[in-house]
Structure 1
Amino acid sequence: MADTASHVSFLPPILTFCGAAVVAVPLFRLMGLSAVLGYLAAGVVIGPSGLSLVGEPETIATVAELGVVLLLFIIGLELKLSHLWEMKRDIFGLGLAQLVVTTLCLGGAAAAIGFPSNGAFVTGVALALSATAIALQMLGERNDLQTPYGQRSFAILLFQDLSVVPLLAVLPLLATGLHAIEHDSLPDRLITVATTLSAIAVVVVIGRYGLNPFFRILARSGAREVMTASALLVVLGSALLMQEVGLSMAMGAFLAGLMLAESNFRHQLEADIEPFRGILLGLFFMSVGMSIDLGLVRERWIILAIAAPAIVFGKTLILSLLSRAFGATWQDAIRSGVLLSPAGEFAFVLIPFARGLGLMSGPDAQLVTALAAITMLLGPILATVIERSLRFREPDDTSPEQAPLPGQEGELSSRVLVIGFGRFGQIVNQVLLAQGIEATVIDKDVERIRDAARFGLKVYYGDGTRLDVLRAAGAERAEVICICTDHPDVTLKIVEIIHQDFQNARSFVRAYDRIHAIELMGMDVDYQIRESFESAISFGRATLEELGFDAQTAETSADEIRKRDIARMVLQKAGGDMGGAELVVGAKITPEPLLKPAGKARGLSAETRDILNEGIF
């Protein structure tokens, strides 16, 4: 049996990371700075160059890289293949131009200060790549990922991630020259290419045709933790497969997310992955902070003090000019440039790899590593300052580019969120569709999701009582949230969440019965209606017309009953003589006539007269 102390030994580093995060991140947010800076600063403090509370940052970095993997999976979930194809100009045009031009400029500068040619190339490439995690985290904090500059920035980051694989293949060729080409036979190279393409095809085919039925089976079990485990299985499995064939783990996760972007289970998957993503991504940023060697910084501070700001401003200038050439406004071009100015996570992969191949000396590799880490500290600070300046100068953003991008007008700009797709919710959606409003619909019944296909609607699997699911479904952007669930207690729970966390949205609620409606009125919902009241009113009106009453008279009678019912409910809500006793659990409101009966009730059978306590005729 394992010693208890061996288990306890895992706790100090965990407590160290948690303590550093809960102190640094709120402090930096109070100062108006990004949470990324808080994590980076916390890593510096607790790392080997600081208080040495964590002795092996390399081990932590290996685990923390999963944060980037999960981040790319969620980004893939938020995209659609059609929209990705529309971004091809920015991905393969702007992305390629940025990488080539920036590599030439930074590599040339490295060669000018004495780096050998191979080392200068590695330095230029490593510093030309941008920090995917930092950029996407800041875009998420600003809610700017779907803006034009956010999409252009993401396109560049995506191309950079794609380029890492061929870069890792090129570096060994630089180290061994033409001999590597001769040593690696043509059949071997063809096998490698075929293996890579096959792995991509496997992820695409399984993601496109196999995951929806898989999640549908799991959803029927009703076990929430199984859905969470399956989400992690899909992400980590696709990441591992890509890594085994020499591709990026992040790319595998992105492909898996992209294949699930049209899935009915998308919102639930995003909500299940989000907590793991946030924790591991914060851990990644702290590991970057721990990698900064303060001793080297003190020793070569003059070079670093000049080079780090020069790289940040240089990359900002290059990318701003290129973005402008590709049609961006100057404001958006500057935003993209400064956002992508820090060196990227893959710099910490390429530099050690190049050093192991002999392309860089140890001191040069340490210098470039420290330089990359320092740009990760400076970049977010400059990005925050520039963003504040641009927003101050543009208080009213009326730019036509801020409109939703093609392919995203539907869900991303959805004005209505409908929770529940039963018989009631289906009719609500039909009315909305009649005016071209495509609501985002959430339901946790698998059969209802399958039925939605016949309605031409997109319904997502998810538990509407979960705050994370509501956020993933866009509740923060919705103008109206329609709660059409079947069970009163579920409805009340959702109303409480909406009033507490989504006060921007108006709440329209389906009430089960009179007692439920009065309770909802006490919760100050914007609108409520009993599920059977209006249908019963319409039924009675139709009966009057069939009996010979004209339509106007029947409608007047229906309106009179509506008015009396509303007045009675207001009195019952206020309490009156009952003093609110009707809302006590287990209590019942006795049905009472809204109009005075013309005569006394009479039982028409002996059993009925006995129930009514009438005498025997």
Structure 2
Amino acid sequence: MDTNFLLQAIIYLSAAVICVPIAKKLGLSSILGYLLAGIVIGPYVLGFIGQEGEDIMHFAEFGVVMMLFLIGLELEPRKFWKMRKFILGMGSSQVIGTTVLLFVGCLIFMDWKWETALAISLALALSSTAIVLQTLKEKGLLNTSVGRSSFAVLLFQDIAVIPILAFLPLLSTVNLEATSDAPQSLITGFPSWLQTLIVLGIISTIYFAGRYVFVPLLHIIAKTRLQELFTASALLLVVGVSYSMQLVGLSPALGAFMAGVVLANSEFRHELEGDIAPFKGLLLGLFFLGVGASINFQLIIENPLFIFIFGAILTFVKFVVLFVISRFQKKNRNQNLLFAFGLSQAGEFGFVIMSFCMQLNIIPTVLANQVMAVIAMSMVATPFLLLVNERLIYRYSGVKEKGTEIKKENDFIDEDNPVIIAGFGHFGSTVGRLLKANKVKSTILDYDSDRIDLLRKMGFKVYYGDATRLELLKAAGCENAKLFIAAIDNPSVNLQVIETLKKHFPHLKILTRARNRNDAYELIDHKVEHIYRETLYSAVNMGVDALVELGHRKYSATRQGRQFIKYDEITTRKLAEKRHDKMAYLITIKEEIELQEQLLKSDLYSQIAATNHSWDSEHLKNNLSEPAD
């Protein structure tokens, strides 16, 4: 049995290692790579995995739980409260609108009972949290208007699963207690009012425990200075909260999200994020592999017309509903398209609802399996739809400027400037404004249409596009440009851009942004020479000002700051080589810190311009104010 488990693990990991890099090289998302890997190793293609894949699928679903915990960590309670209108308004409109249209269509065109049609419509109204959020994260769109709207709808759907599962037994003539596999909870037999009180009590307990139990406990664990213990504590926190929510019949993913929101203001936010992220990524990968492997090609071969037509109608209906909702929110057309295409699939909760419906005898087994095949196919189709939207449709959608559509020809880059800037947020715009003030022309690329709209109104000529695409880089003039400034907010997207530039434009000098030292290590591996860490320079400037306030000379403090940056950049390149060996890495850090302090001390004592006070404005003012002899 152990051998079988290890063999299954080898098959899954090998498929991911082979297929995902190929997908990325072809310009596709990693999700599509995982899905295709699952299809290849699944029981209907190569047959490397069979029914055993279902067990791993249950295990991999925990990746979705961890993903929502991390999202909760990034969303402070105050921000969450501000989003309540989005969550209730857009979320309820999507679920109700999609359910009603599908229900009416099934009653008119299909020979199904109304109970069957309603159950299927409810299952298909939900979208895939895992696919949508992972796609938005890869494209760096989680913090954009589209990302926030998508998240609001998905969160409402996760909450809606609870009343849907509670409602389904009312459609069945089967005794719920007789179905031993039906979703049960510890409070199932209690009166409704008592169940509500218990649920509210559990939610309140999570909130207060997060503030008065979890955080103090993490303080105690942090004092042990054992990283593995802190990681174990982070996992225990997520598992414990999710299990508690499951015991009272609520969604584990919803519980994990709540725990993340509660801890979003704690000082351990970033540490928890760093510890959980690797597990989340691996389990999500397994989840997408499982989805690909679960596609029943035998059913598709037997009923291709029904499955493909029904899948196309499902995608179209959800697309229309989402597009209309987005229009009411007064978003730009390209935002509407991205929002509608992104959530137009069925989701992982559809599998849960279909299985429950079979147990309750609401839906015949054959039909339920066909619907699950439709769900799986729609999830696989999503990355392709987004690719079509990105590569073809967005060229004709444009973004709005002063209430009118930008002309089609403005989507084409007609500039040939010496500098190209990718990413024009807070970081990139600062660089761009400095260049513009010095009469240096630059071609600006960005993928956030809200930001583009604002920048164009401010007088900047910005082009909409994904800088990871080779054809866009060519159109921007990378073949003739002298300098490329990579300033994209998302470090992984920034790295993809640099990989493309290094491969196709080796002559181009690259200046790149790095969020922290870990991002810098990745860039060093790609032979990037000019790396600018966000935290390093602002922190050194603050340190220089602190020295001046404490009485040090401005010239000496500034010189020490510049020397510190030089030594730290040299140290970073040394540490990049040792970072995979934890012991060697720690030893090197200690040695470099001691060496750096010695060098700074020797530099301080050997300064040539020891009496130069030209940097010290206060010294000059004092001299000027003294009366001449």
Instruction: Give the TM-score normalised by structure 2.
Output: 0.66
Q: Displacement, 1:91?
A: 1.0
Q: Deviations over 1:569-600 (max 9, x none)?
A: 99xxxxxxxxxxxx997998695573799xxx
- Identify the residue that residue 486 of structure 1 maps to in structure 2: none
Larger Rg over CA atoms:
1
Q: 1:19 aligns with which of 14, 18, 25?
A: 14
Counterpart-to-counterpart distance in 2, 1:379 and 1:563: 54
Q: 1:73 aligns with which of 56, 61, 69?
A: 69
- Identify the residue that residue 268 of structure 1 maps to in structure 2: 271
Q: 2:41 aligns with which of 42, 46, 52?
A: 46
Q: 1:9 aligns with which of 4, 24, 28?
A: 4
Q: Displacement, 1:495?
A: 7.1
Does the aligned pair in 2 maintain the 1:564–1:594 contact within 8 Å? no
Q: Deviations over 1:225-279 (max 9, x none)?
A: 1111111111111100000000001001000111111111111111111110011
- Identify the residue that residue 209 of structure 2 maps to in structure 1: 206
- Identify the residue that residue 506 of structure 1 maps to in structure 2: 532
Q: Displacement, 1:49?
A: 1.5
Identity across aligned pairs (percent)? 34
Partner of 1:343, secondary structure, is coil
Q: Deviations over 1:405-452 (max 9, x none)?
A: xxxxxxxx8769xxxxxxxxxxxxxxxxxxxxxxxxxxxxxxxxxxxx
Q: 2:608 aligns with which of 584, 594, 597?
A: 594
Does the aligned pair in 2 maintain the 1:312–1:378 contact within 8 Å? no
1:339 aligns to 2:342 (yes or no): yes
Does the aligned pair in 1 maintain the 2:333–2:398 contact within 8 Å? no
Counterpart-to-counterpart distance in 1, 2:104 and 2:287: 30
The amino acid across from 2:41 in the alignment is: I
Partner of 1:242, secondary structure, is helix
Q: 2:82 aligns with which of 66, 81, 86?
A: 86
- Identify the residue that residue 261 of structure 2 maps to in structure 1: 258
1:175 aligns to 2:180 (yes or no): no
Range moving further from structure 2, 186-195 or 361-370:
186-195
Distance change >3 Å, CA 219–CA 362, structure 1 → 2: same
Counterpart-to-counterpart distance in 2, 1:247 and 1:331: 36
Counterpart-to-counterpart distance in 1, 2:242 and 2:560: 63
Distance change >3 Å, CA 500–CA 110, structure 1 → 2: same
- Identify the residue that residue 144 of structure 1 maps to in structure 2: 141
Distance change >3 Å, CA 178–CA 104, structure 1 → 2: farther
Q: Displacement, 1:393?
A: 4.9
- Identify the residue that residue 238 of structure 2 maps to in structure 1: 235
1:369 aligns to 2:352 (yes or no): no
Q: Displacement, 1:535?
A: 4.7
Q: Displacement, 1:173?
A: 1.4
Does the aligned pair in 2 maintain the 1:415–1:479 contact within 8 Å? no
Aligned length: 473
Q: 1:59 aligns with which of 50, 55, 68?
A: 55
Partner of 2:191, secondary structure, is helix
Does the aligned pair in 2 maintain the 1:475–1:481 contact within 8 Å? no
Instruction: Give the TM-score normalised by structure 1.
Output: 0.67
Q: 1:124 aligns with which of 118, 121, 124?
A: 121
Q: Displacement, 1:95?
A: 0.8
Counterpart-to-counterpart distance in 2, 1:494 and 1:37: 25
The amino acid across from 2:46 in the alignment is: L
Counterpart-to-counterpart distance in 1, 2:293 and 2:401: 43
The amino acid across from 1:506 in the alignment is: Y
Q: Displacement, 1:387?
A: 2.8
Q: Displacement, 1:139?
A: 0.3
Q: Deviations over 1:6-56 (max 9, x none)?
A: 543321101100011111111222222221111111111212222221122
Q: Structure 2: any 5+ residue segments left out of the alignment?
A: 178-186, 404-424, 429-489, 497-510, 567-592, 612-629
Partner of 2:171, secondary structure, is helix
Counterpart-to-counterpart distance in 2, 1:479 and 1:565: 21
Counterpart-to-counterpart distance in 1, 2:515 and 2:189: 61
Q: Deviations over 1:290-322 (max 9, x none)?
A: 111111000000111211122112211111012
Counterpart-to-counterpart distance in 2, 1:257 and 1:561: 41
Counterpart-to-counterpart distance in 1, 2:328 and 2:549: 64
Partner of 1:506, secondary structure, is strand
1:351 aligns to 2:354 (yes or no): yes
The amino acid across from 2:77 in the alignment is: L
1:323 aligns to 2:320 (yes or no): no
Q: Deviations over 1:357-394 (max 9, x none)?
A: 01000111011010111111112211221133455457
Distance change >3 Å, CA 397–CA 210, structure 1 → 2: farther
Q: Structure 1: any 5+ residue segments left out of the alignment?
A: 1-5, 401-412, 417-469, 484-490, 511-524, 542-557, 571-582, 598-617
Does the aligned pair in 1 maintain the 2:172–2:362 contact within 8 Å? yes
Counterpart-to-counterpart distance in 2, 1:379 and 1:596: 66
Q: Deviations over 1:484-509 (max 9, x none)?
A: xxxxxxx9x99767766898863589
Does the aligned pair in 2 maintain the 1:309–1:378 contact within 8 Å? no
Counterpart-to-counterpart distance in 1, 2:244 and 2:188: 25
Does the aligned pair in 2 maintain the 1:506–1:526 contact within 8 Å? no
Distance change >3 Å, CA 531–CA 256, structure 1 → 2: closer
Range moving further from structure 2, 374-383 or 585-594:
585-594
Range moving further from structure 2, 38-47 or 242-251:
38-47
Matches within 5 A, 1:24-39: 24-39=19-34
The amino acid across from 1:120 in the alignment is: A
RMSD (Å), alpha carbons: 4.3
Matches within 5 A, 1:562-577: none
